Each structure stands twice: as C-alpha cells, then as structure tokens.
Amino acid sequence: MARCPVCHSRKGKRQCLITNEFVCSLCCGETRKDDLCEDCVHYRSPKLRRKYHDIPGYSVPEMDANGELQGYGNIIESALCAFDRFSEHTLGDEVILRVLALLLDDYHFNDTDIVCEDKTVEEGYKRLVRAIEEDLPDISDEIITKIISTIYFVARRRTEGHREYLDFIHSYIGSRIASGVQVFGRNNYRYKNTGMRKMSEIVLEMSVTLLKSPAPSPSSEAAHAALLFTHVAWNKAIGSNDIGRTYRIFLQKFENSNFVLWDEFRITDHQKIIDSLIAFKNEFYPDDLRVIHVCGMREGNVHVEWSDPEEEDVVYDKCF
C-alpha cells in the first residue's frame, strides 16, 4: 500500500475525492474542506468532531472554594432538574449531556443558529438558556462557559448510562421553580397532579420553597409569613385577590416581632416571592380552583380553610 501523498510517512487508506489518491486518516481529517468533502463517506460535520470534554472549565477544588461559582452552577443544574421534572422524570443522562453540548455550541463555539432534530433536547436547551438569561444576566459568557464545561465534565464522570447524574443533582441541588427559587428532592412534591390533595399539604409544599434549604425549623414568624405569601399567591392565581390588599399589614407584624425574619428566606423581594408561588401553582395545580379563606398555624400544624367555587360549604383541613 502506497504512502500518504500528504505526509509521506503513513499508509494511505482513504481515497480522496479531490485528488483521487489514497491518504492516511490523520491527513484526511486535517486537510478536509467542508464545501468539497461533504459527499465523502469519511466526512463528519464539524459539530460532530467537537471535543466538548477539552473545553476549559473549573476544577473541583476551585468550585468548592468559591461560593459564587457554586451558586452559578446550582442555577444551571437546578434548571436541568426542572427540565427533567417537566418531562416527568423520563430523561436519561445522555439527554442532559446533549443539552449541555448545545449550550457549549452557543456559549463557547458561538454558533448563531442552534437547531436540533431531537425536540426533547432542543426544549431542554431553550429552558436552560432562559434560566441563564433570567438568573445570571450580569455574568460573562466566559464564566458561564466554564461553568457549563465543568457540569458537562461532572455529568460524564457520574453517569453510568442511565440516570445516575440526574438523580444525584435532584438530591443535592433541587429544581428551579422560578428565578431564584428551587425545590429540593424528587419526592418532596407531586408532579402534574390530577387528583385532589389536602389543601394544607399543598400549602405546606409551596411555602417551604421560600425558606432556605437545608435549614433548621423556621421561626414562628417566618413560617407564618411563608404561609401568608402562599395564601396570597394561590388566590391571586385563580383570580381572587381578597387578601392581596391587606397582607402587608400582617407581614409588618411578623417583621416587627422578628427583625431578622428575612434571613430565613431564599429571596426577599415580595413580588418575586408571589410570582414564584403563582408559577408553582400554575405548573403543578393548574386545574385546582379551590379558594383559600384562612391559612395559618394552629398548635404547630398547618391549618387551611377553603371552599370549592361550585360548593357553598367551607372545608378545613390540616397537616402536621
């Protein structure tokens, strides 16, 4: 077999469409031209040749030592959790790796037209971009690229071909519900509910998303404030704003009683808190039109009084 006419050292095994000579595989890859070689059986798209694992990222010690970098990573991974939750936990790690690769196509390779034939992967990419734009608007593309590359590296290292990486981040990162708000643990909430749960359970489920996690038991004022916000947001989501005009009076009492009240909350902007709870309600309980009349704590339990718009009676329930 003749030697490659390009390097004159290795054996030529691939017949070149341009020169009609046999070249070695290394020279084939290094000298090919996309416009002339795309019909060749050995041609591969530039995207398929990209080495995502070689893109610079942060080392694990660097991430561990920098709280800000950890926070940026948590935002992206929580959005991955939310995408998996949206897909009803049917995703595998391979899908997540492909979503991360699309992000690197965007942020590192600066592709202007991100298109994917797999609609699931494309949906994941769009959700991640939206989360980055909303939660990390002032962070440079260079830092975001290195964060994404680090997550890509970790996902490849943890996966065994199933959901090992996804299950890990569900346990330790949580799902992004709205900007700045995450819910921890796969089993802490129900997905796409069709049956009717106890209203007190739902209220508790929503209110804990506001508090820092992991955290010790909240103060009485923080617990009452979180329940109050949930009461306001739930009714507002269904078109009722009965308590929306007066909740600030109650909130002021909690603030006067506990001057460090807001230290227990993940976010402190009142409107963002309410918006995040409305988003939660609309995603998980869009068809539940019950109206909350009373919501609070009684003897250490969450107590809720509510009514169905089609019924006259007011019902109450509680959870421990």
Q: What are the residue ranges spanned by the domains of the chain?
A: 1-44, 53-181, 199-319
What's the confidence (pLDDT) of residue 297? 84
| pLDDT attached to residue 37 | 81
CB 221 within 8 A of CB 257: yes
What span, in angstroms and rounded, lies between the C-alpha atoms of 208 and 216? 12
pLDDT at position 192 is 39
Q: What angle do CA 184, 100, 72 make, to 5 degrees?
A: 50
Encode the chain (320 residues) as per-residue pLDDT tens digits. Answer: 578 888 887 778 788 888 888 888 777 877 777 677 877 877 656 555 688 989 999 998 898 899 899 989 989 998 998 888 788 789 999 999 999 999 999 999 988 778 787 899 999 999 999 889 988 999 999 999 999 999 999 999 999 989 999 988 887 776 665 555 555 443 333 333 445 778 888 898 899 888 875 445 688 899 899 999 999 999 999 998 767 668 899 999 999 999 999 999 989 999 999 999 999 999 888 889 999 999 988 877 788 898 887 765 666 555 54
Q: Are 303 and 319 in contact (CB under 8 A)?
A: no
Q: Which two tokens stand for residue 25?
A: 């595989």
Give the per-residue pLDDT at 49: 64
Paired tokens of 168: 């890990």
Residue 10: phi and psi, rounded to 5, are -95, 160
Largest Cα separation within the chain, whole Å, is 91
Report the candidate in 72, 129, 127, 118 with the shortest Cα–Cα distance to residue 95: 118
Q: How far apart (Å, rounded) are the C-alpha atoms in residues 215 and 226?
A: 14
Give CA angle at 232 (230, 238), nearest 5°. Answer: 100
Six-digit token string for 242: 């009965």
